[in-house]
Structure 1
Amino acid sequence: MPQLLQNGVRWLDGMLADLNAKSAKGSASITSTADSIALRNGQAPAKRTAATNIRALVAGGTISNPIVLAELTADATKLDADANKFDAYVEQNLPVLAQTQSYVAAVGSVIASLATITTGPTALTAFTFTSKTAGHATFSATTSANAKNALVTLWRMEEGEDFDSNKAVLSTSTAATPSTTYSLTDGNATLVPAGTWDFFAVPSNTYGYPGPVSGPVRVTVS
């Protein structure tokens, strides 16, 4: 809410509270501005009504003019114009403000959904080497109980290098479900070159977003 509106509503609310405390019994009632934003059908907005009542109190001698509240001073004859400006602003911008709040809520919902979509499953509970033959290496990978588990991928990298999917060789992958053990073999499509390699396994969700990397498990293939 722009500072002008905040200041105006705060000032009028403070003025009304102060004047209500000072007004004598039987004097004109001063309307609160708390419901002014509602702008109910056919009724004068609260701030405008307040300005009218303040002028009545000035005219009746209950309060003096100019009106002083804390460090603020106002002329009762100008309150109408100021109140009208505030009411016009609210009238014009309330739908926009309401739409903005709805938009922010919608964006928040989308962000929350994206956070769920882009968060991969929790780490594998186990990743171990099981066997090898010429040009092949087989591993066992067990998914966690996390419901996001949808895929497990086996990767091969040069010995001693940190995992980097841009540099690693995608060995194989398999569709996955939670709390399940899978056998993953590198070399079925293309034989693993002879040498010592570091292998990694990564679980992913339905949208392909990965969870934590497991490994390395170092294996020498002949």
Structure 2
Amino acid sequence: MWIQIEPGERALRFAGRDLLGDVLAASAGGAPVALATLMRKRGKDLTAAGKLFVETGGKGGGTLGDTALDARARAAAAEALRRGTARTVALDEETELLIEPVIAKPRLVIVGGGHVGLAIAKLATQLEYEVAVVDDRPEFASRERFGGVNEVVNMDMVKALETMPIGWNTFIVIATRGHKLDAHCLRAAGSATRGWTRTGSARSTRRSASTSAGARPRRSRSR
């Protein structure tokens, strides 16, 4: 077993670019990045012999000193970004790649603190989502009720959706106390680039679609 320790100012600098900001942004919910480090055995030691980084879409920088090796590392980094887990890739008996994706936890915003929202919050917490619950009723938006979530917001639900940051890995569950309020919240959360899924009766699904201008349905489910 080896434990790799590197000074941050050296480990996160590639071709004159300081990646610390990129890494911090990725961990806070920004675009994910992956770091690939070429590790070589030197006697009993394992040392870093080169680095590169890969952004979403395949862009990046740095080099491991060989074009073919760079291509292999980029492919492994892209796969690590898709899977969301770190991995090692053995190249030969003396050399391996350490691939480290930096991806924020998915964030779930639950709009409505009733019994449906409470059940979803418990499940999402178990699945290690970052969970925020929004409700305009103090008794349904309290730490006593939602003690295990990351954030509880007691304010107008439509205004909350209009003002809170929605990142690429943010998911929204709308489970308010009425269909009309559901539709208002859906309109506030939706845009031309976001899809949505409606779970419910065919009639209520059509009602939501007809009253939510600007939100584009991806598919509908009936129960």
Scaled by the length of structure 1, what TM-score is found?
A: 0.21
Q: Which has the higher strand share?
A: 2
Larger radius of gyration between Structure 1 and Structure 2:
1
**Higher RCO structure (Cα 8 Å, ≥6 apart):** 1
